[in-house]
Structures are given as C-alpha cells and as structure tokens.
Structure 1
Amino acid sequence: MLPTDLLLFRVKAGLAEPRRLKPTTQNLDLAARLIALFEANVGQRRADLDEELRALEAGRQDFKVLRGLAHLLTNMGDFEAAGPVEPGLARERVFTLAQEVVPSRRAAAQILEQAARSLSTDAPVSPETLQAALYADLPDQQTLVAFEPPAPLELIHRYDLAQAQGLLYRATELVITARRNEPARYKQLLKYLKFFGLMATVEGDAALGFTLTLDGPTSLFGATTRYGLGMAKFLPALLHVTKWDLSATLKPRKDLAWVDPGDTEWSFQLTSEDGYVSHYAPPTEHDSALESGFSERFAKLDTPWTLEREVDLVPVPGGVILPDFRLVQGDRSVLVEIVGYWRPEYLRKKFDLLRKAGRTDVIVCVSERLNLERAGVDPSDFGDRVVWFKGVLNPKDVLALAETYAVTRP
C-alpha cells in the first residue's frame, strides 16, 4: 500500500474519491520506465536506486505519482545486506579492536586488516569487503537482490487499488452488501476478515444478499488508524466477490489545507463495477479433497437436486458459519456441512457454532476417523441430521436426508 503522504484524492460534498491513473500511453510508458529502472538495479544498493529515482522525478509535476509507483515497486523487490560477511559480526570484530587503539586513519586501516584476517577462516575477506559490510544492513545500503517485474498495466492497477486502500486507513465503519456470488467467494472473505483482525456483523440471506458491517473496539479511538489499515488490507479480497457494494465512513484529515474544517466525516463508496483489480490469489473451488470428491460424485448422479457451493452465510452469536454446500430443489433447500480432518480446537468451535445457529436445515457429515471424544465433541444432539462416513462421503446418504430436512426458501 501507499504511505499517507502519497495518497491523492479529492472530497466533494463529503464524498471522498481516490486518484486513478488512466492506462494512457504516457502512464504506461512511465510505468514501463520505472520497472526497467528497478530491473537494471538488481545487485545495486538502494541508495543508488533512490538517486536514479530522484533524477527521474526532477522537474515533473506528477512527482507524487512517480513516487507512488516507485514505492509499490520497492515493496515488490527483495532488499538484503549483500556480501560474504554478516554486518553484525563485522561491527563486533571491528569495534572490539577499535577500543584498544587511539583513533587515527592509520589505526583504522590496521584494524580493518586485522579484523579481515580473523574472518578469513572459510574464504578470504579483504579489508575493503569488510568495510563495505559494516553498515550493509542499513536500509539505504541494502542491495536489491531480487525483483519480479510486473507488467506496466498491472502496476497501474496496483496503484489505483493502493489509492482506494489508502482512504480506508481512516475508516471507522465499513458496510458491505454482497449479493449472490460465485462459489467459494464468501469463505475467502471470512478468512481475510479473521486474518486482518476484523469483526463483522452479518445479516441477510443468500437470496436477497448479505450485509456485513465491519467495526471494532480500536475504531472508537480517534488517534489510531490501525483498524482502518486492516480494512484496507481486506479490500483486495473483496474484489474477488462478483457482486457487491461498499460504503465506508471516514475520519476527515485535518492536516490538509484544502479540507473544510467543518467536516465531521467523509463517505467513501465503491462497487464491484468500479474496475479495481485484486493482486490477491483467487480462492480455490474446494478447500479439501473431501469436498472436491463429494462434488465430483454428486455430479454423476441423476437427481432433481442441485448442488451449490458455499452460498449461505449463517450468522450466529460469536461467529459466522459458511456451510460447504447447499442442496436445492425448486424453492426448497438444505445446507450441508462436512467435518473432516481437523484439530480438536477447531472441532470444538465448529460444533459449538453449529449448535448456536439453531438451524434444523443443516446436515452435518462427520468422518468416523475423527477423535471426537478427545476433542470433547458429541454430535448426538444433531439427531438424525448426522451422516457418518469413513474415507468417502456418499452423496446418496446426504440426499436421503435432504427430503426430510429441506426447508422452503423465502
């Protein structure tokens, strides 16, 4: 993402709009030139790269755009302390010897030579190499050791998304309306919510859509943007959902001269139609071989039931359940949750959430290989809605219960 000083946006009637780069020939050429510059500096110090970047931006009115693109490219590279001697060890040897002599140029040269000899046990180390290693771990002295160049258009997409993410640094609330989507999209959203420490209140259903309200205790304190940073990191995951709307409430920036001092809050609006591109990997269709195998075996059956993948968010106190499948026939449906090979802690939480949900239209498929006794889990309170299986989950066993426990969808 981008630091605050490189964010470019405007506010009109309380609505914040981030700066976007059009893929014009001029912008694509600038992106390509910067990418080539980073490629040419592989093996060089960051200080040398920064000097070339300063020379490139000299006299440009769009220097903030250039700096933003360069910042993103810097994060795509690997910078390390290069050389055969670890900087910490080099400083330890040199500074220990330096304590024993009166400082002078001649003494410095002798110390470097002596320390270099002491480090030449496996391979020869010259005084010049040792001197270069003394501060090679400082940021500007680190070497660009690897760089995976993006395409110019990809870099522009990253820049646009980073500008949108930057507005969310100051978000106090995020409301997402996610309509009926492609398989596996909801689960990825929930995983990223948890990963970035975000809490969500979920309302709605699969037919009309779900509303996720993101908020948390840290968002209540005016001096912190930590929770907004989590929301910003979450945005690329949201882009994998096919139909959604986002509305964010932002704290106005009072450090900008053009900001209306009377503004108490800003609004930021996005939709899935805005054309932002995610750099997060898309979700896989199935989380496990169990689910994949069940889906493949079901596809071979001649049945009036349709198998849908992860389309229902079930809000429960203390969490959210996203059942693995839903079986649909006409206006009737039943949810299917497969409990396979997991740790005891996960099993306890999984069954606890299933109980809290209070849903009678959930078929729970449990592997007999699980050590439920060790986990302290007893699925007997789910009654006849439990399907036990060993290595393979037979879709016919699940369909046998579908007729009984399916409910009419609203």
Structure 2
Amino acid sequence: MLTKEQSILHFDFQNQRVHPDRLTRKTHAHYLPLAQQMLAAYRQGVGQPRRTLHKSIRLILQNTDDCSTRRIAAFCKLLDDASEYRKDTASKAAKLRERVFLLAATKHPLVQATDQLFDHAESEVKQQIAKELNREWDEIESVLFNDVIEFHPLIQPPKELDAGGLLRCYNVAQTQAALYGALSMTVWAERDFKQIMRYAKLARLMHSIEPHGTGYRLRFDGPASVVRSTRRYGVALAKFLPGLLSAEGWRMQATVLGPMQQRYALRLSPRDGLRSEVRNDDFDSDLEKSFYEAWQQAETAGWVLLREATILHQGQSVFMPDFTLRHPIHGDVLLEIVGFWTPEYLQEKGRTLNRFRDSGRILLAISHSVAESIPELGMPRIEYNTKLSPARVLKYLKTL
C-alpha cells in the first residue's frame, strides 16, 4: 500500500465528498505506454539499487505535464512492492563498511592525484583494501551499503504485472490511501456476502451486520472506542478494500476525516470500475488455519468441518460462526473461536453470543487468557491455550 505522503486526494468542499486520484482510459491514455516503460526499466534493472531504479522512473515521467511528484513516488512504491530486493538481514554490510573505513582511515586524506602534500591516491588505496580483504573492489563497492534501503539491489522485478495492471494497482492504492483517514464504513451487500464478510474478518475489522432488503448491511464503526486510533482503523479498512473490490453486488460509503477536521464521504460500487485480485485465504488467523489443517489429518468419526457455512438471523442481527461441524446422523454443531482481542470486542462478542444462544447448537472455543471476559451463556465451552486441538472438540462431540 501507499504511504500518506504518496496519496493524492481531491476534496469537494461544496458536496462534502472526497475523490481519490484516479487514472482513466479516456483522460489518461498516455499513461499506458509510460507504464510499459516503467516496467521495462525494472525488468532490465536487475542488480541495480533501488535509488537508481527510482531515478529511472522519474526520468520516464518527468516530462508528463499532469504527473506530480506524489504520483511519481506512488508508482515507485507500487513497483517496489511488486518486486523483490536483496536485504542485508545479517548486518554484513555494516561489518564490511567498518572494516573498509578502518583500513582507509590511516590513508586519509585521499585524493584523485597525488602531489607533494597528499600522497595517497584514492584508486590505489581502494586496490590495497581489496587486496587486504581478498575481494575485487567493484564487488566490495556493490555491497558496501546493502543495509540502506535506497541501496538494496533488485533481484526480482514484477513478474505477472502488465502496464494495464500497474495502472489498475495505482487506482486501487490511491483509494486505499484515502481510507487511512476513515472514521467508519458501511457496506450494503446484495451478493457475495460470505466473501465480503471473510475479508472483513481477515482485516480484523469490528463490525455489525443486519439484514437490509434482499441482502445485508455491514457497519464498521468506532475507532475511538474500539482500537483507539483512527489511523490504525483506517489502515485496517484499506486492507479490506481489495477483498471488497473482488466481490460483486455491493456499494460502500466511508466517512473520511479531511481538512479542518471536516468529514467527507467516499462512495464506491462495482460501477466505478475498480478491480483487485486478492490472495485466496479462507482463514482469519493462524489459529483457525492450524485447527482446520489438523482436523483434515485427524480421525473425526464422520464429522466434517466447514468454513463459515452457516448464517444465523435473529431479528435485525446476523451472526456467522467460524465453523460448522456437520455429521450425517448428529446434524450440525456450530463452532465459534474466541481469541485475544480488545475488551470492547469481547463485550460485543458476549452480547452477540447471548443473542444467538437459542439459534442452534453452538460450541465455544475460548482462549484461556480471555475466558473470564465471556460470561456464562448456557452454551458448552472448551478452553485452549495457544492452539485448539481437534481432540478437544471431538471429546465434546462424542457426548451428543
């Protein structure tokens, strides 16, 4: 994602709307060949440091009248995110730099050409250091600052990204950046509801759900009371956006804090043409993923584990448990995993569970660290420490 310094927002003060920067085919067709040139610069620049690649991008875009420095910086960030750089995780560069500087210190000052006052030529000292370290100087120089981000060498340019894809990424990234200042978001979903819910949970967003017409309304609210940081909440909403864009049949409105602390509306729907490909990951956390994988390897006596397969309704409220355990004879048991989160979240979780206590057979798996925060609800519960084992769940299922 982009940083706040790379985002471009256009505020409509009269209508209280905010419009993220967007490149369109009609107005910005000239960016397509420029995107091809930018990708070519990276694909031909393997081994070059990050700052050299960024300079190449600036040269490509510098004569484009409508391309601001922020837009240039945004393209550099997106290309970097799609690439892979060699990073000095073992601090080898710092150790090498210390050795080189210590060897060179006794020869200072270094000059291009010696004279009567200065008798240490830079080129000669470099060769002496290279001989001392038993390495070629060009090799030493190429890795001397590998621990500085601007000097990280490119080892893998963008693989599957084409020019059109780069421009689409730009539009999505600018919209994500607009959400950094979001206070709340409402999504009306007519289709792909489970998919939208899954990505909301993956982004760890606090939400409420209620039926609305033929679909559902999801509200993501409360940064001040829930996560105590508008910025952090906005970043979570930004992470959720690609998942939302990959769905169909929805519309969204977010309230964004703008200039003079005024509130502005950001509205989106599939008609806006933003699309995003997301990684297909069915799990909200490593805990759920490890439990699911362990279940597939266990002897489960005919119980099948399904991910978010059941939606419960209670008046104007909706609840989708984490798993459904299904057996051809014993029917369905719903499994909800409660892990560590904020006190406010746990209180809301307790209210939700209490509301749906009579909506089916619900088994609670509660982290030992928060067990006291969930009141007794008349539901069976099991506790776990760091991992939830299938054996604990199966032990309960055998009692049915």
Q: Distance in 1 between matches of 2:59 and 2:100?
A: 36
Whether 1:360 aligns to 2:370 is no
Q: Distance in 2 between matches of 1:291 and 1:361?
A: 27
* Structure 1 residues 317-328: aligned runs within 5 Å: 322-325=321-324
Amino acid at match of 1:116: A
| CA separation of 1:242 and 1:362: change in aligned 2, threshold 3 A | farther
Q: 1:143 offset after TM fit, Å? A: 1.6
For the 8 Å contact 2:256–2:266, the answer to whether it is kept is yes
Q: 1:161 offset after TM fit, Å? A: 0.8
Report what 1:337 is aligned to: 334
| CA separation of 1:86 and 1:165: change in aligned 2, threshold 3 A | same
Q: Distance in 1 between matches of 2:9 and 2:380?
A: 59
Q: 1:166 offset after TM fit, Å? A: 1.9
Q: Distance in 2 between matches of 1:55 and 1:238?
A: 35
Whether 1:73 aligns to 2:85 is no
| CA separation of 1:184 and 1:335: change in aligned 2, threshold 3 A | farther
Q: Distance in 2 between matches of 1:142 and 1:226?
A: 28
**What is the TM-score with the length of structure 2 in the denominator?**
0.67
Q: Distance in 2 between matches of 1:143 and 1:309?
A: 46
For the 8 Å contact 1:180–1:311, the answer to whether it is kept is no
Amino acid at match of 1:159: Y
Q: 1:112 offset after TM fit, Å? A: 4.0
Q: 1:160 offset after TM fit, Å? A: 1.2
* Structure 1 residues 293-312: aligned runs within 5 Å: 309-312=309-312
Amino acid at match of 2:280: P
- From 10, 15, 18, the equivalent of 1:16 is 18
Amino acid at match of 1:191: L
Whether 1:227 aligns to 2:233 is yes
For the 8 Å contact 2:37–2:60, the answer to whether it is kept is no
Q: Deviations over 1:195-246 (max 9, x none)?
A: xxxxx24142487513323331289999x74432332222223334433332
> Which range moved further: 157-166 or 66-75?
66-75
Report what 1:204 is aligned to: 210
Q: Distance in 1 between matches of 2:50 and 2:177?
A: 25
Q: 1:18 offset after TM fit, Å? A: 2.3
Report what 1:57 is aligned to: 61
Amino acid at match of 1:44: Q
- From 143, 155, 166, the equivalent of 1:155 is 166
Amino acid at match of 2:198: K
Q: Distance in 2 between matches of 1:383 and 1:214?
A: 28
| CA separation of 1:81 and 1:182: change in aligned 2, threshold 3 A | closer
**What is the SS of the residue equivalent to 1:362?**
coil
Amino acid at match of 1:50: H
- From 268, 281, 291, the equivalent of 1:270 is 268
Report what 1:260 is aligned to: none
For the 8 Å contact 1:46–1:144, the answer to whether it is kept is yes
Q: 1:151 offset after TM fit, Å? A: 2.0
| CA separation of 1:130 and 1:323: change in aligned 2, threshold 3 A | closer
Q: 1:88 offset after TM fit, Å? A: 0.8
**What is the SS of the residue equivalent to 2:265?**
strand
Corresponding residue pairs, total:
347
Whether 1:192 aligns to 2:189 is no
> Which range moved further: 137-146 or 61-70?
61-70
For the 8 Å contact 2:188–2:216, the answer to whether it is kept is yes
| CA separation of 1:161 and 1:381: change in aligned 2, threshold 3 A | closer
Q: 1:310 offset after TM fit, Å? A: 4.1
| CA separation of 1:383 and 1:48: change in aligned 2, threshold 3 A | closer
Q: Distance in 2 between matches of 1:9 and 1:146?
A: 35
Q: Distance in 1 between matches of 2:129 and 2:144?
A: 12
Gaps of 5+ in 1: 195-199, 255-262, 300-306, 328-333, 402-410
Whether 1:88 aligns to 2:89 is no
For the 8 Å contact 1:326–1:335, the answer to whether it is kept is yes
For the 8 Å contact 1:314–1:321, the answer to whether it is kept is no
For the 8 Å contact 1:311–1:326, the answer to whether it is kept is no
Q: Distance in 1 between matches of 2:151 and 2:308?
A: 54
Gaps of 5+ in 2: 112-119, 383-389
| CA separation of 1:384 and 1:40: change in aligned 2, threshold 3 A | closer
Amino acid at match of 2:353: A
- From 130, 135, 156, the equivalent of 2:140 is 130
Q: Distance in 2 between matches of 1:187 and 1:92?
A: 50
Q: 1:298 offset after TM fit, Å? A: 9.8
Report what 1:279 is aligned to: 277
Report what 1:142 is aligned to: 152
**Root mean square deviation, CA, Å:** 5.0
| CA separation of 1:356 and 1:268: change in aligned 2, threshold 3 A | closer
Amino acid at match of 1:216: P
Identity %: 21
Q: Distance in 2 between matches of 1:6 and 1:365?
A: 45
Whether 1:174 aligns to 2:188 is no
